[in-house]
Amino acid sequence: MKKVITYGTYDLLHEGHINLLLKAKALGDYLIVGVTNDNFDRERGKLNVRNNVLERVEAVRALNIADQIILEDYVGQKIDDIQKYGVDIFTVGSDWTGHFDYLNEYCEVVYLPRTEGISSTMLREESQEIVRIGVVGLGRIGKRFFSEASFVSGLEITSIYDNDKNVLDGFAQEHPSYDVSQTFDEFLEKVDAVYIATPHLSHYEYAKNAILAGKHVLCETPFVLNGQQAEELYALAKEKKVVLMEANKTAHCPAFNHLMVMIKSGLIGEVVDIEASLSKLLADKNLREFDPEQAGGSMYELGSYPLLPILKLLGTEYKSLTFYSRMDKGVDIYTKGVLCYPNAVCSFKLGLGVKTEGNLVISGTKGYAYVPAPWWKTDYFELRYEDQNENKKFFYKWDGAGLRYEIQEFVSCIYNHRLNSVRFRSSESIAMAAIMQQFTERKNFMEI
């Protein structure tokens, strides 16, 4: 039996894909089709995939051409697959002519002619309307958005706005190619979606006004500091049929998502304890982070990150939450929180004036997951067991500032009419806002 193997993304499956698969099938008796995994596509800089890997696999399976479908996860896998499956012929489209000649050492390489006049890129450009997105807030985080957005297809930054005219004018002088709006109402008329990177206390008003205007909203974390406000805004977004998403970069990081899936699948057993820490020492005490009038302090500034794995793995129905904080001039420079669940206990440590080891440790009945600092930029983690021979290490790539992952998910939600991202559900965002509110109201709070 002659075995043939081919690979592709198969995004926006079209006639050209089908013709190539049929030609590949005709080369032998058994066709293996490798579908590139989402993480592999990201590592190659492709943040334009409209359909996730499960949808793409099902689309290929439905053609009834492939005898076997596998996932392509890493560079060099083609050689491994050829040897593993006893492949006789590797084939791919003629636009790759010469690129895979190195595989001739392992099997015959055949470049098949592609269907003229059709490609995924062409179809994507024809079918994908560009999302016009505007940036509100041109501070430290907001400025990162521009370079990160360049790695994501399907969007265009069409206007910028900041309520500080000096900041707005200064940015416009440095970057004259961007359209400048002098008022928020003028800004909303020019965009389909809004990225909000303003100080915490302004998020609610900006988000509400944008949603009421029928605009999709990606808002920096923490979204809001009040549970009722969060519920109101998510309900309003649902009513207006627009995407509302909290821009927590860790939530959309490929490695963090893989870690969550592995733990939920039971690889370390039942989760009984989570410890998460995040701290930074800032020398300039005049920064917004130390101003109580601007919601300064470690809880508001950093709390959404260690709360993320806790809420995702154990849910939003905890039994109790207690805070322990060291205060300085009206802001918490250190806070420790303890959440108790029916069958688990979790703790998080935050510091703006206290330094701590920034690890994430998730303990289970069969083993534990260890993510070293800075775990919120997850690019490596370990699963550890009683028998050290069973330990596993996982390595990933973290690109740039990490905002491109949340931007890609935001644009994907808009295109696919998904009002809620499974990576960071609205219920989790609302629970996080309620926790911030409890801290504001000093409920179950002890100063140390």
CA pair distance 20, 92, nearest whole angstrom: 8
Q: 156-215: per-residue pLDDT in tens? A: 999 999 999 999 999 999 989 999 999 999 999 999 999 999 999 999 999 999 999 999
- Whole-number pLDDT of residue 398: 86
CA pair distance 224, 247, nearest whole angstrom: 12
CA pair distance 346, 348, nearest whole angstrom: 7
- Whole-number pLDDT of residue 128: 55
Angle in degrees, CA 364, 369, 374, rounded to 5? 140
CA pair distance 249, 136, nearest whole angstrom: 18
Domains within the chain, CATH numbers bracketed? 3-123 (3.40.50.620), 128-249 (3.40.50.720), 254-397 (3.30.360.10)
Q: 260-316: per-residue pLDDT in tens? A: 989 999 999 999 999 999 999 988 888 889 999 999 999 999 999 999 999 999 999
From the list 121, 118, 128, the residue with the least C-alpha distance to 18 is: 118
* Number of CB atoms found within 10 A of residue 137's CB: 24
From the list 352, 353, 276, the residue with the least C-alpha distance to 313 is: 276
- Which of the 8 DSSP states describes residue 180? B
- Whole-number pLDDT of residue 45: 53
- Whole-number pLDDT of residue 36: 86
pTM exceeds 0.85, yes or no: no
Question: What share of residues in the chain are helix, strand, coil (percent, to 5)?
Answer: 40, 25, 35
- Whole-number pLDDT of residue 49: 46
Residue 177 identity: S
Residue 75 identity: V
Q: Which residues of the chain have pLDDT under 50?
A: 44, 49, 123
From the list 375, 382, 430, 373, the residue with the least C-alpha distance to 263 is: 382
Which residue has tokens 């920096």? 220
Q: Which helix (H) or strand (E) holds 328?
A: strand 320-328
